[in-house]
Amino acid sequence: KNQVEQSPQSLIILEGKNCTLQCNYTVSPFSNLRWYKQDTGRGPVSLTIMTFSENTKSNGRYTATLDADTKQSSLHITASQLSDSASYICVVSDRGSTLGRLYFGRGTQLTVWP
Amino acid sequence: EADIYQTPRYLVIGTGKKITLECSQTMGHDKMYWYQQDPGMELHLIHYSYGVNSTEKGDLSSESTVSRIRTEHFPLTLESARPSHTSQYLCASSEKGQGNTIYFGEGSWLTVV
């Protein structure tokens, strides 16, 4: 069964600290993996997209890694800011159909305290 | 910045009413999607479209319907709203092909009382 599991479910850190969010998936055949940031009550915003051949991608203070062999990904946030408080969603796409079906994780709820 | 817009943002309606959630994008994207998301839960695909006059049902069974008469417009309609339809509805769009960024609207929060 194709699934995307994220951990931790929630995380609280102090402003300025770093953190790492995890994503494990069983989706096959794999096409790409995306990380989205979703502020409360808003739509998700894309952070990174990685294909099979990419093992790291950065977007400012966000760095995503991908290990396609172990089917794991992580999102590292450096020097956290209050505005980083949001839900971070891991999304994996398969290549078994024209649509490229997307499998969504439930997200990690990050809270940054001053 | 994503140019995809949803209206209304928030809506409270009575059971049995008909409601249409509007979604428009100005990026010229062929693919458009509707997702349903309950608080703290994952997004579920309820409808999608490859282009004009193309609509398909998604993974989550839904009593809603959609239409795609124009490239930029993808409205979702509930003919008779029920409390079980209370949820957040997210519209999205992307270019053709896999691996392209999917842009989401801000969402429409629907409460049926």
pLDDT tops 80 at residue A96: no
At a CB cut-off of 8 Å and minimum separation 6, what does A1 contact?
A: A26
pLDDT of residue A1: 79
Show which of residues 43-102 on chain B sit within 8 Å of chain A, judged by CB atoms: 43-45, 48, 59, 90, 92, 98-99, 101-102
**A46/B38 Cα distance (integer angstroms):** 20
CB A105 within 8 A of CB A26: no
Residue in A27, A20, A56, A36 with CA at minimum distance from that of residue A106: A36
What is the least distance, in Å, from the CA of A78 to any CA of chain B? Answer: 23
| Shortest CA distance from A94: residue in chain B | B98
Measured CA distances, A11 to A65, A107, B74, B88 (Å):
19, 11, 36, 24
The stretch B49-55 carries a mean pLDDT of: 93
Q: Does B40 touch chain A (CB under 8 A)?
A: yes
Structure tokens at A55: 């093992």
Report yes or no: B5 at the A interface, CB cutoff 8 Å. Answer: no
**pLDDT tens digits, residue range A46-83?**
999 999 889 999 999 999 999 999 999 999 999 999 99
Joined tokens for residue A44? 């998700």
CA distance A77 to chain B (A): 21
CB burial string B36-70: b at 16+ within 10 A, e below:
bbeeeebbbbbbbbeeeeebeebeeebebebebee
Whether A97 contacts chain B with CB within 8 A: no
pLDDT of residue A98: 55
* Residue of A75, A71, A24 lying closest to A49 (CA atoms): A75
The values of phi and psi at residue A39, to 5°, are -70, 155
* Cβ-Cβ contacts under 8 Å for B27 (sequence gap 6 or more): B2, B3, B4, B93, B103
A42 in B contact zone (CB under 8 Å): yes
Per-residue pLDDT tens over the stretch A14-56: 999 999 999 999 998 888 999 999 999 899 999 999 998 899 9
Q: B76: number of CA atoms within 13 Å, CB side?
A: 30
- Of the candidates B6, B21, B4, B24, which has an alpha carbon nearest to the alpha carbon of residue B111? B21
Q: Which residues of A touch B90 (CB under 8 A)?
A: 43-44
Question: HSE of A77 in the Cβ direction (CA atoms, 13 Å)?
Answer: 28
B79-104 residue pLDDT tens: 999 999 999 999 999 998 777 889 99
The Cβ-side half-sphere exposure at B78, using a 13 Å CA radius, reads: 24
Hey, what are A14's tokens?
A: 């102090």
Provide φ and ψ at A83, rounded to 5°.
-70, -10
SS3 call for A111: strand
Q: Measure the CA–CA gap between B33 and B48, rounded to whole angstroms.
A: 4
Write the pLDDT tens digit of every residue in B5-40: 999 999 999 999 999 999 999 999 999 999 999 988
